[in-house]
């Protein structure tokens, strides 16, 4: 998978193809291993204030997220310009220009953000599902009440 990230950064792979490959990682353990591989290939410095706070806020607010819980926690944030992989202790920011290492405290925050986004999405889905069920029940009972019994 690290090869796919390098291929994307070299222009040989479409960004969404890389995202597709990342989202199919079956478990957090695979993400942990990938982060280790990517850190080994990343520059020896951590992400600092390379972009302004406003730029990071906009990037994070426009992100999609995936979280893995078993057997180990990990997360993926897919922003308009960056991909962030984190396991809560370590993390990397992938851009078309290269790979940067996240500070441990930022990595933990990014994992929490991934988990929060996914939980909120599931809660909305559950609420919508409940609403649809209730609508179906109401429409069925209304439809059934309109059927006249035979004498």
151 domain-assigned: no
pLDDT digits 0-9 by tens, 82-94: 999 999 889 999 9
Residue 119's SS3 state is helix
What mean pLDDT is predicted for residues 91-108?
A: 90
Q: Could you tell me if residue 52 is left (phi over 0), alpha (psi between -120 and 50 degrees) or otherwise beta? A: beta
Q: Decide if pLDDT at 129 tops 70.
A: no
147 domain-assigned: no
91 domain-assigned: yes
136 domain-assigned: yes
Whether this model's pTM surpasses 0.85: no
Burial 17-37 (b: 16+ CB within 10 A, else e): ebbeebeebeebebbbebbee
Q: Which domain holds residue 129?
A: 1-45+55-141
Per-chain mean pLDDT for the chain: 80
124 domain-assigned: yes
Number of structural domains the chain divides into: 1
Residue 8: per-residue pLDDT: 92
Give the pLDDT band of residue 44 (cuts 50, 70, 90).
Answer: low
| pLDDT greater at residue 91 or residue 119 | 91
Q: Decide if pLDDT at 24 tops 80.
A: yes
């Amino acid at each position: 998978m690290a090869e796919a990230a390098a291929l994307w950064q070299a222009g040989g792979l479409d960004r969404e193809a890389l995202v597709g490959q990342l989202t199919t990682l079956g478990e957090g353990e695979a993400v942990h291993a990938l982060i280790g591989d990517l850190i080994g290939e990343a520059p020896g410095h951590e992400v600092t204030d390379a972009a302004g706070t406003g730029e990071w806020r906009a990037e994070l607010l426009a992100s999609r997220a995936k979280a893995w819980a078993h057997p180990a926690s990990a997360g993926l944030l897919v922003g308009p310009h960056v991909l962030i992989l984190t396991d809560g202790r370590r993390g990397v920011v992938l851009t078309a220009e290269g790979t940067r290492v996240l500070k441990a405290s930022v990595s933990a925050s990014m994992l929490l953000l991934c988990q929060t986004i996914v939980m909120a999405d599931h809660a909305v889905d559950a609420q919508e599902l409940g609403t649809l069920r209730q609508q179906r029940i109401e429409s069925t009972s209304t439809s059934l009440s309109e059927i006249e019994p035979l004498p």
